[in-house]
Amino acid sequence: MQSASISLKQAEKNWADYEALPRDPRQSTAAAAEIKRNYDIYHNALAELIQLLGAGKINEFFDQPTQGYQDGFEKQYVAYMEQNDRLYDIAVSDNNASYSQAMWILVGVMIVVLAVILAVWFGIKASLVAPMNRLIDSIRHIAGGDLVKPIEVDGSNEVGQLAESLRHMQGELMRTVGDVRNGANAIYSGASEIATGNNDLSSRTEQQAASLEETAASMEQLTATVKQNAENARQASHLALSASETAQRGGKVVDNVVQTMRDISTSSQKIADIISVIDGIAFQTNILALNAAVEAARAGEQGRGFAVVAGEVRNLAQRSAQAAREIKSLIEDSVGKVDVGSTLVESAGETMAEIVSAVTRVTDIMGEIASASDEQSRGIDQVGLAVAEMDRVTQQNAALVEESAAAAAALEEQASRLTEAVAVFRIQQQQQQQREASAVVKTVTPATPRKMAVADSEENWETF
C-alpha cells in the first residue's frame, strides 16, 4: 500500500510537469481537456482504492470498476499520441521547406558578397595600388638621384597625404642638395681667402716678434729699477716699524702708570669712607656715654661707678672723633694730590698715544709704499712673463699658419669630393643658377685693405 501511495505521488508530479510544458497552438484543446478528464477520474479511483485498502474494505475494493477507468484513460492517451505524431510529421515537412529556403537565401547572399568583394578589389586597385605603384616609381627616381621628375598627388586620402609628403621631401631634398653645392663653392672661395690671410698673418707675426724682443729688453731695465725702489722702501718700513714698536711700549708703560694712579685714588676714597664711618661710630658712642652719665646721675650712689665708666668712654669717643677728623684731613689732601698726579699722568698718556698714532701712521704709509713697490715689481714681472708668453704664442702662430695652409689644401680636397658626391642629383637648372649666383655674391669680397681681408679670412676659418 505504501508503494502504491509513492507511485501515485510520482504520477501526480509527472502530470504536473506535463501540464507545465508549453502547448502547440495546433494541438486540439478538446483532446487535451478529454485526456485531463480521464486522468482525473483514473487518479481519483486509484486514490479511493488506496483508502479502501487502508480501511480494510476488501469487498468495496474489488467491486470498484477501476479497470474501466484505466482502459478509458489509455484509449484517450493513444488518441493524444496519434495527434502528436501527426503534428510532428507536419513540423518535419515545414522544417525541410525552411531548410531549402535558407539554402537558396545563403546562395544569394554569397553571390552578393562575392560581387561586393570584386567591386571593393577593383576600387582598392584603382585608388590604392595604382597610386602606390606610382609613388614607388617616384621613390626609385629619387633614389637614383633624379629630383626633377614631378610627383602627382591624387585625392586627399592617406595615399594622397603620402604623395604630398613625398613631394615635400623631394622639394626639401632638392633645396638641401642646392645648399650643399653652394656650400662647396663657398668652401672653394673660403680656402683661397684663407691662403691669402695666412700670408698676411705670417708677415705680421714676424713684425710682432721683433717688437716683442725690444719690449722684453725695456721691461728688464724697468724691472731692475722698480726692484731697487722696493728694497729701499722695505728698509724704511722696517725702521718705521721699529720706532712704532718703541713708542707703543712707552705708551703701554704710561697706561700702566695712569691705571696705578687711578687705583691709588680709588683706595684713598675708600679710606676716606672708612674714616667717615669711624667718625660716625665715635659720635654715636659719645651720645651713648652722655645718656649713660645722665642715667647714672639719676641712680645716685648706686650709679656712681657706672658714671665714671661712662665718662671714660666719652673721653675715648671724643679722642677717636678728633683722630678720625685729622686722618680725614690728611686723606683728603692726599686724594687731591693723587688727582693732580692722575691728571698729569693722563695728559702724558694722551701725548704718548698721539706719538704712537703718528708713528703708526708713518709705519702704515711706509708699509703701503713698500707694498706698492712690491706690487709694481710683481706687475712688471707679470708683464715680462706676458711678453715672454706673447713671444711663445707668436712662434706658435707661425706654426699655426703652416697648419692652416695644410688645412686649406685639405679643405679644397674635401670640397671637391663633396661636389662629386652631390653631382649625382639632378635639380632644376634655373634654381641651381640662382643659388650659384647668390653664392658668388656672398663669397666674393672686394679688394679691401689688408686688415679687412684678414678679418674675413679669420671669420671663414672659424666657420670651417
- pLDDT digit string, tens, across residues 319-369: 777 777 777 777 777 777 777 777 777 777 777 777 777 777 777 777 777
Distance CA 164, CA 151 (A): 8
Give the sign of the dihedral formed by CA 404, CA 409, CA 413, CA 418.
positive
Report in angstroms the alpha-carbon separations of 234 from 220, 223, 370, 376.
21, 16, 5, 13
Q: For 407-420, how does the pLDDT look when each residue is reduced to its tens digit (9 = 90+)?
A: 777 777 777 777 77
pLDDT for 56 beyond 70: no
- DSSP letter at 146 equals B
Asked if 220 and 381 count as a contact pair (C-beta separation under 8 A), the reply is no
Mean pLDDT estimate for the chain: 71
Provide the residue count of the chain. 464
Percent of the chain with pLDDT over 70: 67
SS3 149: coil
Q: Which whole number is the average pLDDT over 19-37?
A: 66
Q: Residue 92 has what pLDDT?
A: 80
pLDDT at site 430: 41
Q: Which domains does the chain have, with CATH numbers?
A: 2-124 (1.20.120.30), 210-443 (1.10.287)
CA distance 449 to 429: 37
**Does the pLDDT value for residue 440 go beyond 60?**
no
Predicted pLDDT at 336: 75
| Alpha carbon separation from 397 to 14, 331, 394, 404, 457 (Å, rounded) | 119, 93, 5, 10, 15
Q: Which amino acid is at 103?
A: M
Q: Is 349 exposed, middle or buried (0-12, 13-18, 19+ CB in 10 A)?
A: buried
Distances (CA, A) of 63 to 45, 59, 71: 12, 6, 16
139-145 long-range contacts, Cβ below 8 Å, gap at least 24?
139/166, 142/169, 142/170, 142/173, 145/424, 145/425, 145/426
Q: Are 336 and 308 in contact (CB under 8 A)?
A: no
pLDDT beyond 60 at 459 = no
Q: Give 427's DSSP letter.
A: -
Percentage of the chain beyond pLDDT 90 is 1
Q: What is the DSSP letter of 425?
A: S
pLDDT over 60 (residue 452)? no
Specify the pLDDT at position 111.
92
> Measured between alpha carbons, how far is 237 from 231 in angstroms, rounded to an integer?
10
Q: Give the DSSP letter string of 70-81.
A: HHHHHHHHHHHH
pTM of the model: 0.29
Lowest mean pLDDT among 39-53, 74-88, 421-435: 421-435
- Give the pLDDT mean for 436-456: 42
With H, G, I as helix, E, B as strand and everything else as coil, classify residue 319: helix
Q: Has residue 439 got a pLDDT over 60?
A: no
